[in-house]
Chain A
Amino acid sequence: MSHLTIAASENAFRQIFTLVRNGFTFAKSDSATFGPFSASYSLALHLEKGTVQLNNDGTVEIKALDVVWDTLLLKVCFDFPGFTIPGFCIIPDPWNGCLVGIPDIHIGGPICIPLNLSGLVSEISEVRARLKARYVVDPGRLPTWTDLEAEFAGKPNMWKIFIDPEFVSVDPIDIPATVGNLFETLVEQAIEDLLPGSLPGFAKDLLMALLTPVVEIVKGVLDVFDSVEDFIQDLLGDKLDLLGIIQTAVADHFASKVPIYEFEDPYPILTDGPLIPVKIPLRNLKADVTSQEMIVTGDIG
């Protein structure tokens, strides 16, 4: 029989999970090129909600964990194919020529569409994990130190118990239709910005009316086969691999960054007074769950 047993009810375990979940923050920026276009992103996110269930097979199931995108800035850049809009006459001269006309206009060149998707909420549908106890020797600890010297130097050995995910299932980032509409508006605005600034407003309106199909051209450039929302979802989730990045970050967080339980080894039990603290070595630490509780066992060394 183990010398030491500590158990936490499922309810208490949920509170510990909340602590660990709230400790998760993640930020990253990156860019990539995908043939005719490139994309860059900057993101920061945290986790909220989530249900926890302990199972008799030793697994911990976390479901419906919200990923809150505090920052999600996406920029899509591409070269708009160049072409010339032939000049035409708006007010002809009844005797000869043209009183008011539009000259040949060449448009084309690089366009960047910035999208601010901050505030979106997506979901990690399931994390299945087991508890794992790890013994961690502080890398800064000198080999000649006793346990007490290591403690006084702030580099004690630690027992840490982690929720070690076996898999993390991240749902696609659901892009609302409003974002698709916004994207198309921004594309139109970017193309309008390509027109010479000297053109009067009415002329720009006229030209943009003529150029309405140009959005379709842009969609062709970006390989938007279906809706813009699906394109953005695919871009974020698969092409830029944000789903994989979240999966890895969440798995790392639970498996190796923030333990659900940690303590010094040897563990100080009597610390009052002028004498050195009494420290008790703990060995063979194990952590497991049943459907009712988390159980940690260990021996006194």
Chain B
Amino acid sequence: MAFTDSCDLFASVHEDGLNRIADHIMRQRPSWFHFATPDVAANRELWCQVPAFTSDVERFGNPVFTLLPYLPVIGVDAPPVGLGFCVQMARAQVDLHPSSLFGLPDELGSKLRDQRLAIALRVCGGIRCPDPETLDRIPVTPPRDPRRERRPEPPRQVPVPGRMTCFCLDVFAVARVARETINGVERVVAKIDGVEIVDVEPKGLEAAMECYIRTAITLYLRQKLAIPLRTFFVDFPLFGMGTVSLAPTPNPPVPHNPAVEEDQLKVFVTMTMTP
């Protein structure tokens, strides 16, 4: 059976290749996977993971961390106090149907269903925990008199130092792939069906965290990792050729396009001659 029995152009990426691509993306765009407040980003002693990145990242002045605002301490506003923290992706792995690289938690069905892929993430994070003496040294701001200051300046947030307490979570997600036009470009994007965090209690906390992670991954995939369809064909010469128009092959004859099967992500394109 030929690859192009039902189409004119076919491209597939094996899961082993996808995982290498994921590794390259993480090493060339570390700031997409490592987030921290400025104090943590500037002090490698506070990192929960040492990011691996290529020499070009620093050579071209790209950040290793995406900087985030300090975590506000709730109820504290005189002055407001913020804690340093980081969230880092330590590992990411993709397994395309059928399951072969890793198992899934029972909550996600143990094994992948047809046309599904699994993502295994190890996410590490930590918060700087100030000692009591540090907190005692933060002066309390006197209350403001609204009769003397019509529009009082909000007091500046005070970041407090502290030792980093890190933890890691193993997160599994199950997704399918779909085509979606984003910013006028037809792209292939993964759609999250479910997320499971291993060993988090109580259940309500786990559910809330899973909701946050599912939201983050869903938006992240759409915004950052929606790959243009033509990228799968690596600049194939027919793309951009005036006398040929290329479009994803419809169903029928191709039931799933893109398809996740045989440990591969496959895309099918049909060519039409333009008069």
Contact = CB atoms under 8 A, between A and B. Distances in A.
Bind each other: yes
Interface SS of chain B: helix, strand, loop or mixed?
Answer: mixed
Contact of B2 (A12, A15, A293, A301): A293
A270 interface: yes
A278 B28 contact: yes
B21 A276 contact: no
A11 B8 contact: yes
B57 to A, nearest CB: 7
B31 interface: yes
Interface residues of B, number: 42
B10 A5 contact: yes
Contacts of A182: none
Interface residues on chain A, size class: 35 or more
Contacts of A88: none
B67 to A, nearest CB: 14
B62 A275 contact: yes
Contact of A4 (B13, B29, B57, B60): B13
A267 interface: yes
Given A7-B2, A293-B2, A295-B3, A12 B29 contact: no
B9 A5 contact: no
B177 interface: no
Contacts of B2: 7, 9, 290, 292-293
A7 B269 CA distance: 10
Given A269-B231, A275-B62, A19 B241 contact: yes
A51 interface: no
A275 B237 contact: no
B14 interface: yes
B234 interface: yes
A8 B8 contact: yes
Interface of B: 2-5, 7-14, 16-17, 20-21, 24-25, 28-29, 31, 55-57, 59-60, 62, 227, 231-238, 241, 243-244, 264, 271, 273
Interface of A: 1-9, 11-12, 15-16, 19, 146, 148-149, 260-264, 267, 269-270, 275-276, 278-282, 290, 292-293, 295, 299-301
